[in-house]
Amino acid sequence: MDAAVKWVRECRSLCVLTGAGVSAESGVPTFRGPEGLWKRRDPVSLATPEAFAEDPKEVWEWYQWRRRKIRGCAPNAGHRALAAVEAVKPDFLLVTQNVDGLHRAAGSRRLAEIHGNIWTVRCVGCGAERYEQGDFTDLPPRCGACGGLLRPGVVWFGEMLPREASGEAMEMLSRCEVLIVAGTSAVVAPASGYAAMAKRRGARVIEVNPDETPVSGICDATFRGKSGEVLPALLG
């Protein structure tokens, strides 16, 4: 690990990409894991614009269930290490595929949530957004301003990534000297291509994952362990 620690310590620009594995260590149900099943429904079939158009109440029942599960979870040592590194790396960006808000809860502010945030809601009518941590009594919830349906502020399958968050991620990937990929299976596009993109532009790529992934072969260093244990050691 000494070489990787040196790369991180000496680099001028650092980017970190996190996936579901980081939050799973805090008890957040993974999207495709058995603990993420709700009423034996396939989550992929519910996380689509089509499902929301057909039955917004059912989609919201599922998201309210997910929000309640996440509400009982707290940031782990990996989240805290990533929040702390902001103080020593002026050119730093944390890019996350996670929607649970645990990075924010840990104190991360230089953050690009490319799949959105489950604690935000957006009106499909007027586009108004707000942060809402409590449960909704009536489902589906409606906008207080225009009466339109509110939807979870997350990216569904088939939708584009948020322009601002995606732009920040791409800009950092174009210049970072080190990219750490932690807890992601590297199968969901476009984030699955981020490691290769950074590598082509000269960055050293470090993987933190208990299992081998499609990007393992291009990484300069790989650590087979939990992010909550490896990241604090790697980031100092």
Structure tokens at 236: 């100092």
Structure tokens at 158: 């088939």
What pLDDT is attached to residue 191?
Answer: 87
Q: How confident is the model at residue 37 (pLDDT cuts 50, 70, 90)?
A: low
Distance CA 45, CA 134 (A): 25
Widest Cα–Cα separation across the chain:
57
Q: How many other CB atoms sit within 10 Å of the CB of residue 234?
A: 24
pLDDT at residue 35 greater than cutoff 60:
no
pLDDT at residue 225 greater than cutoff 70:
yes
In this structure, are residues 85 and 9 in contact, taking their beta carbons and an 8 Å threshold? no
Q: How confident is the model at residue 32 (pLDDT cuts 50, 70, 90)?
A: low
pLDDT, mean over the chain: 94
pLDDT at residue 109 greater than cutoff 60:
yes
Residues 6+ apart with CB under 8 A from 107: 80, 83, 84
Average pLDDT rounded to a whole number, residues 95-118:
98
Superfamily (CATH H level) for 2-27+74-115+161-235: TPP-binding domain (3.40.50.1220)
Whole-number Cα distances in Å, 220 to 143, 170, 180, 198? 48, 21, 10, 12
Average pLDDT rounded to a whole number, residues 190-214:
95
- CATH 3.40.50.1220 domain locations along the chain: 2-27+74-115+161-235
Residue range 29-72+117-154 in CATH 3.40.1280.10: no
What pLDDT is attached to residue 62?
Answer: 94
Task: Report helix angle 227-235 to 2-10, nearest 10.
Answer: 60
pLDDT tens-digit series, residues 120-177: 999 999 999 999 999 999 999 999 999 999 999 999 999 999 999 999 999 999 999 9
Higher pLDDT, 228 or 42: 228
Beginning with the edge strand found earlier in the chain, give each strand of the sheet holding 150-154 in spatial order: 129-131, 116-123, 150-154
What pLDDT is attached to residue 203?
Answer: 98
Q: How confident is the model at residue 77 (pLDDT cuts 50, 70, 90)?
A: very high
Structure tokens at 135: 């449960």
Task: Report helix angle 77-85 to 227-235, nearest 10.
Answer: 30
Active site residues: 115
The model scores a pTM over 0.85: yes
- CATH 3.30.1600.10 domain locations along the chain: 29-72+117-154
